[in-house]
Amino acid sequence: MYTKELKQFVGKEVTLKGWVSNKRESKTITFVVLRDGFGFCQCIIDQQNVGDEQFNDSRTLGLESSVEMTGKVVEDERQIGGYELHVTALKVLQAVSDYPIAKKEHGIEFLMDNRHLWLRSKRQWAVMKVRNRIIFSIHSFFQERGFVQMDAPIFTENAAEGTTDLFETDYFGQPAYLSQSGQLYGEAMAMAMGKIYTFGPTFRSEKSKTRRHLSEFWMIEPEMTFCDIFGNMDVIEEFLRYVVEDVVEHCKEELEILERDTSKLLTVGKKFPRLTYDEAVKILKGEQDVDGQNSIQTLENDLSAVKASISAKNTEIAEREAAIAAGGMKKGQINFNQNKIDTLKQELKQLEEDERNIPNWIESAKNFQYGNDFGGSDETVITRLFDLPIMVYDWPHEVKAFYMKRNPENPKFARGVDVLAPEGYGEIVGGGERETSEEWLKEKIVEHGLPMKAFEWYLDLRRFGSVPHSGFGLGLERMVAWICKLEHVRETIPFPRYYGRIAP
């Protein structure tokens, strides 16, 4: 019997088994929020109903004690999950009194050190459920359309995405690298099967500590034969729309726990803007407006608004603190004011971060050098002007990977496409049309300093029945971060690996 089944047992007696995720006490009642992994249920332990002994047991329950609770299921819309249990019998499996993660705020390093326990918290539970649904809906999308899921190797002889961030391992005395991308193998598999996708772990050894980078992450990489850059963009758009809409429909409770404003996600119903790199650069530098909005101008306006808001909040904090200090307030009033002050201070943190960031964004947008790749802040500046994902294509070929097809009409550009998510999430998808010419590929392999021998098998794909083909890679964790509106990708995966962390 699990919390998710309570609906079918209203008015009946059931036994739930799980852990104490929250507890509150009144004189003769203990309120326990029990979690069983499937969901949450408030359990009401009334001294009158369970007797003194079990009531006293309930008083000893600390967070994460394991318990069995028997009682009557009562519908109550106000409760999370929608039901509560009026307990008639309580059995304690293990009473815990020193669970390290208390309800008070902990620093992120502490939480990460205790990731094996932190996963039990309500927010983390919700994130993992959303991640699970995203994975399910990704498979549905591709399977419904006849794509075959195939697995690329993890030990590889060569670099797919450049040599700077490879993890080297010892493969029976010979160097091997952990895969950065399954794509090159995906291309070979697509030539055999028509349309495939890989779904596997990928590794990048970049020493970057940004909110978007992990050193081990999961990537979904479809590869399609007889498909050009524009067909590729059509699939990307349909795919992202499908996944977002499916997750919003099936993860209502989880997204509510995460306080996610889903109307901001459902903008994916509209057509995704497609910009060339050249247009994106003009927008970034404020040389081209989007619907009458200018990137630099809106940043400057926002900075003024942020400054005004900071000073208003500081004033309010000072006033409330003065009122408390003046004395004469009832306990309830003091608490009310103290809570307000805490909330204001929390909001200030975000505003002060904006106050520091925005001038840097303006600076780097204005000074952006045409021909460079976009940095995280450039992506933020561009995407702020849109309320849905945008696709940027036709990049200067120098900044893109060796396998990108050159635009036949203008070989300065490579037919890569990046999808930039709204709300500051930046690049979630990178892909493109693949070069079909053996000669051009060889040139690129040399230019990138890659060992030709390790790519002979890849060149065979151009020697034996070469066809136009395209594909892309979605970073699962970035997708989860965007859908859940998380500050950092480290919360999107059960046990994150990023620069500086390998435990637990």
Residues lying near ligand 4AD in the complex (CB under 6 A) are found at 160-161, 181, 183, 204, 206, 213-214, 217, 219, 221, 427-431, 471-473, 475, 477-478, 489
Say how many Å lie between the first and final Cα of the chain, rounded: 31
Site pattern 381..420 for Mg ion (x: CB under 5 A): ----------------------------------------
Nearer to ligand 4AD, 160 or 166 (CB): 160
Stretch that binds Mg ion, among 18-26, 118-126, 235-243, 423-431 (CB under 5 A): 423-431
Residue 140 token pair: 């549905």
Nearer to Mg ion, 182 or 430 (CB): 430
Q: How far apart are CA 366 and CA 389, in angstroms?
A: 23
Q: How far apart are CA 36 and CA 322, in angstroms?
A: 45
Q: Does 81 bind Mg ion (CB under 5 A)?
A: no
Nearer to ligand 4AD, 32 or 191 (CB): 191
CB of 403 to Mg ion, least distance (A): 13
Q: How many CB atoms lie within 10 A of CB 205?
A: 15
Q: Does 430 bind Mg ion (CB under 5 A)?
A: yes
Nearer to ligand 4AD, 81 or 430 (CB): 430
CB of 198 to ligand 4AD, least distance (A): 8
Nearer to ligand 4AD, 110 or 457 (CB): 457
Stretch that binds Mg ion, among 164-172, 333-341, 369-377, 427-435 (CB under 5 A): 427-435
Stretch that binds Mg ion, among 33-41, 231-239, 378-386, 422-430 (CB under 5 A): 422-430
Nearer to ligand 4AD, 429 or 486 (CB): 429
The entry of ligand 4AD, Mg ion, none near residue 481 (CB within 5 to 8 angstroms by kind) is none
Residue 374 DSSP symbol = P
The pair phi, psi for residue 153, each rounded to 5°, is -70, 155
E-assigned strand segments in 150-273: 155-156, 168-171, 174-178, 195-203, 216-225
Helix, strand, or coil (residue 288): coil
The entry of Mg ion, ligand 4AD, none near residue 428 (CB within 5 to 8 angstroms by kind) is ligand 4AD
Q: Does 286 bind Mg ion (CB under 5 A)?
A: no
C-alpha triplet 384, 388, 393: angle, nearest 5°: 85
CB of 199 to ligand 4AD, least distance (A): 12
Q: Which residue is nearest to Mg ion (CB)?
A: 430
Q: How far apart are CA 155 and CA 178, in angstroms?
A: 5
Residue 85 token pair: 């249990």
Residue 93 DSSP symbol = E
Stretch that binds Mg ion, among 163-171, 182-190, 350-358, 425-433 (CB under 5 A): 425-433
Q: Does 424 bind Mg ion (CB under 5 A)?
A: no
The entry of Mg ion, ligand 4AD, none near residue 71 (CB within 5 to 8 angstroms by kind) is none
Residue 323 token pair: 């009122």
Helix, strand, or coil (residue 226): coil
Q: How far apart are CA 375 and CA 364, in angstroms?
A: 9
**Rg value, the chain, Cα:** 27
Nearest to 357 by CA among 383, 380, 390: 380
Q: Does 471 bind Mg ion (CB under 5 A)?
A: no
Site for Mg ion in 104-143 (CB under 5 A): none
Give every CB contact of residue 115 below 8 A, 6+ residues apart in sequence.
Answer: 494, 495, 496, 504
Residues forming the site for Mg ion (CB under 5 A): 430
